[in-house]
Structure 1
Amino acid sequence: MSLSYQHIYHAGNPADIHKHLWLMAVLRYMTRKDKPLFWADTHAGRGLYDLSSKEAAKTAEAAAGIQKLLAAKIDHVLWQDYVAQIKKYNPRGGLGSYPGSAILAAMLLRRDDRLSCFELHPQEFTHLQNSLKKYRHSHAEKQDGLRGLGAYMPPPQKRGGALIDPSYEIKTDYEAVPQALARNLKKFPQGVFMVWYPLLPAGRHEILKEQCAALEAEVLIDEWIYADPAAPDHKGMYGSGMVIINPPYTVPETMGALKEIILPLLR
């Protein structure tokens, strides 16, 4: 895991929207049942992000993501649910505080559910601890989530899963992630595992996709392309992907409909 990566520079960008909406859809579906579940966030970051900070302002990636979409009129129940969660951290209006995946999960999970959030970066971990303080069903662990996740598999609740979203600054993550999935699926074959990955010109994500598709489970791959990688002025990430292992019933249909609305607005 890279100890240089800080998500504050990218918070609220189109990739966050993609990841967060899948997380919302999955957890909303899984919490319909009146049975507790376990959830993990393997690379939780700081949990809550200040979009007015100098770090966020330096890249201003939220302008092309959450800020752009909040200015649009989007008529979809899942999107409106997502906006409602964001507004809870911005009671006076505007968009100063932006909940990341760990805080979104903490907000959506119930009192009897359990949430484990992993983060190795020292400063990010301190922020994460503070962000999670009010959520008694959650806790933060300062360790590599790909390694730490296995200690919770299978969870005593027999229901749940994890979001796995490293920065991929360490190139071996493209192979380490499917390897971690294979290990944890052996322990918890019914688990719902979600993997986020970037679409970059180098194409290393193809290795990850190929190895995930070969897993002994139902595998769904959803990619959002919101920039033209061939454009002369384009640099870096041009889209993002999600691998969903054991996708809950109706969630792919929900996300397919929302993708048709959201993706054109991000381009």
Structure 2
Amino acid sequence: MNYRHAFHAGNHADVLKHVAVLAICDALIAKPTPVFALDTHAGRGLYALDCNSAQRTGEAEGGIGRLLAEAPGNPLVQRYLQAVRACRNEHGRTAYPGSPWLLAHALRADDRIAACELHPEEAAQLKANFAGDTRVAVHERDGYAAMKALLPPRLGETRFGRGLVLIDPPYEAQLEEFDAAIHALREALGRWPQGCYALWYPIKLRRHLQPFYRRAAALPAKSALVAELLVRPDDSPLHMNGSGLLILNAPFQLDEKLAPALHALAAALGERKPQSHLEWLRAPP
């Protein structure tokens, strides 16, 4: 595995993913019972956008950089920007929070987080970043294997009835990654059917995603929602023109909250003919 997220931290794909993750977390903690979150491909959890890796690609300038300058008034986008500012107040003006940091920021004292990272250097930094947070357990292991080992979630005698599994693989295997993700989701739903699952995916050519949509709709979940942000037309296989999230068992009314946020993100981050797309592959009962 050669992927390092530091090159891409804060780009338009991160923005979409993190806006949605915070919205899901806020919906989950609206009820008092404890929540469990599993981040299967966690990275290091915290990034510096002035490091060589981020500066080399400059991707954050078209993502969080542009969004901070535009500051759309949408509530979900503002919620995300507040979290980024909180991270920078704690870690410095160029800090950017990865998904483990955002989960820890959004969830409560009695909630629990498992963050998995396979790359040894990234896993070591992840452990260092969360060494003082007893809610966060860091695992240096394959994220798909962790879905087998850690679901359904338990802590002593406590069984978690609600929570989020965030699956954010690097797609180094490109379209073959969808096969692994769908298989892992099907098995995980068999062990923890009530969990909310969010799978991030890149968009280059949308027509290549049609088999994925069909297979996702057939998963044994109560509902399946896709939320997508395109900053460019999906007509080139050479670039990541956008990205999406497949959200299984989405919290109540999440689609109604996400729709205006996606429009705001497209307007703020779009480069050429931007668009957003929100669709139920399987509507909730």
TM range (shorter): over 0.9
Alpha-carbon contact 1:229-1:235 (below 8 Å) kept: no
**Structure 1's 252 and 102: CA in aligned 2 closer, same or farther, altered over 3 A?**
same
Report the Cα offset of residue 185 of structure 1.
0.4
Q: Which residue in 1 is equivalent to 2:133?
A: 135
Correspondences of 1:188-227 after superposition (within 5 Å): 188-201=192-205, 204-217=208-221, 218-227=223-232
**Structure 1's 204 and 4: CA in aligned 2 closer, same or farther, altered over 3 A?**
farther
Alpha-carbon contact 1:213-1:219 (below 8 Å) kept: yes
Q: Which residue in 2 is equivalent to 1:35?
A: 33
Instruction: Select the residue among 249, 252, 257 that pairs with 1:249.
Output: 252
Q: How many angstroms apart in 2 are the aligned matches of 1:66 and 1:252? A: 23
Q: What are the superposed Cα offsets for residues 16-41 of structure 1, whole Å, 9 maximum, x if unpaired?
A: 01100110100011011111011100
Q: How many angstroms apart in 2 are the aligned matches of 1:168 and 1:96? A: 27
Q: Which residue in 1 is equivalent to 2:276?
A: none
The TM-score, its normalising length taken from structure 2, stands at 0.88
Report the Cα offset of residue 207 of structure 1.
3.3
Structure 1 vs Structure 2: percent identity of aligned residues? Answer: 35
Runs of 4+ in 1 over 6 A off after TM superposition: none
Report the Cα offset of residue 202 of structure 1.
8.4
Report the Cα offset of residue 216 of structure 1.
1.8
Q: Structure 2: which 5+ residue stretches go unaligned?
A: 154-158, 271-285
Q: How many angstroms apart in 1 are the aligned matches of 2:208 and 2:41? A: 20
Q: How many angstroms apart in 2 are the aligned matches of 1:128 and 1:227? A: 33
Q: What are the superposed Cα offsets for residues 70-118 of structure 1, whole Å, 9 maximum, x if unpaired?
A: 0013112222221121112222998410001111001111111110000
Q: Is the partner of 2:79 in helix, strand or coil? A: helix
Q: Structure 1: which 5+ residue stretches go unaligned?
A: none
* Alignment RMSD: 1.8
Alpha-carbon contact 1:87-1:93 (below 8 Å) kept: no
Residues matched between the structures, number: 263
Instruction: Select the residue among 74, 77, 102 that pairs with 1:76.
Output: 74
The TM-score, its normalising length taken from structure 1, stands at 0.93
Q: How many angstroms apart in 1 are the aligned matches of 2:85 and 2:118? A: 29
Q: What are the superposed Cα offsets for residues 169-226 of structure 1, whole Å, 9 maximum, x if unpaired?
A: 1233210101100001011111100000001238554333221111122101122111
2:188 is aligned with what amino acid? N
Q: Which residue in 1 is equivalent to 2:168?
A: 165
Q: Which residue in 2 is equivalent to 1:96?
A: 94
